[in-house]
Amino acid sequence: GEDVEQSLFLSVREGDSSVINCTYTDSSSTYLYWYKQEPGAGLQLLTYIFSNMDMKQDQRLTVLLNKKDKHLSLRIADTQTGDSAIYFCAERLPGAGSYQLTFGKGTKLSVIP
Amino acid sequence: DGGITQSPKYLFRKEGQNVTLSCEQNLNHDAMYWYRQDPGQGLRLIYYSQIVNDFQKGDIAEGYSVSREKKESFPLTVTSAQKNPTAFYLCASSMSLGTYSNQPQHFGDGTRLSIL
């Protein structure tokens, strides 16, 4: 398909791990990003991964990239109530106009205390 | 601190009225973007500008106009031709480096536009 796809909702218990999945469109994408949006706010860049990497870890966040399947995931360890938000994945394509990002529709993460 | 400032945070438009949303950045970024966000729709690109005095239409440009007279500023006008303007509008900016350079977009806090 032509869209970046994400599940719309995910619910986890506080202290568990959260895994948010994303399928992107183009195997030649150069960078893939994860953004977090809290209610009524803009998007905050969480982390990114370059396309020649398989994994990137940053404190509680782990990004996994499967280029063959065009699959990206974000794992949040020890999920807290403050992690409740909408999470967007985005891909950046190479070539002309490569400053643009294509966003998924976002996954709303709800953390149950 | 460097960042992107959008104003106002809330805006109300009467029927037939044009309104302008402000976006200012002090990150020295070349590229700027406007997105519209509707519930369940994700972000849709309205217009973008890679350099001063130049801009291109995005996926949903009809009923909107922009200008880029200064590097720091990229105002968006929602015209009366936009029949369904109620949405959350996000402005972003990024560097304009090479294809394989990391240049994430940084976002403002958004403007919520509603129709009276």
Taking an 8 Å cut-off on Cβ atoms, the answer to whether A44 and B100 are in contact is no
More confident: A99 or B29: B29
Q: Which residue in chain A is spatially nearest to B55 when comparing CA positions?
A: A97
Evaluate if residue B20 carries a pLDDT over 60.
Answer: yes
Q: What digits encode the pLDDT tens for the residues A28-79?
A: 888 899 999 999 899 999 999 998 899 999 999 999 999 999 999 999 999 9
Q: What digits encode the pLDDT tens for the residues B52-108?
A: 999 999 999 999 999 999 999 999 999 998 989 999 999 999 987 666 677 889 999
pLDDT averaged over chain B? 92
User: Which H/E stretch holds residue A93?
Assistant: none
Tell me which residues of chain B, numbers 6 to 65, contact chain A at a CB-CB cutoff of 8 Å.
6, 31, 33, 40-43, 45, 48, 50, 56
For chain A, say whether B107 makes contact (Cβ under 8 Å).
Answer: yes
DSSP A25-83: S-TT--EEEEEEE-TTS-EEEEEEEETT-SEEEETTEEEEEETTTTEEEEEESS--GGG
Taking an 8 Å cut-off on Cβ atoms, the answer to whether B42 and A106 are in contact is yes
Average pLDDT over residues B13-18: 88
Residue A92: C-alpha distances to residues A14, A98, B40, B44, B61 (Å): 32, 6, 22, 15, 21
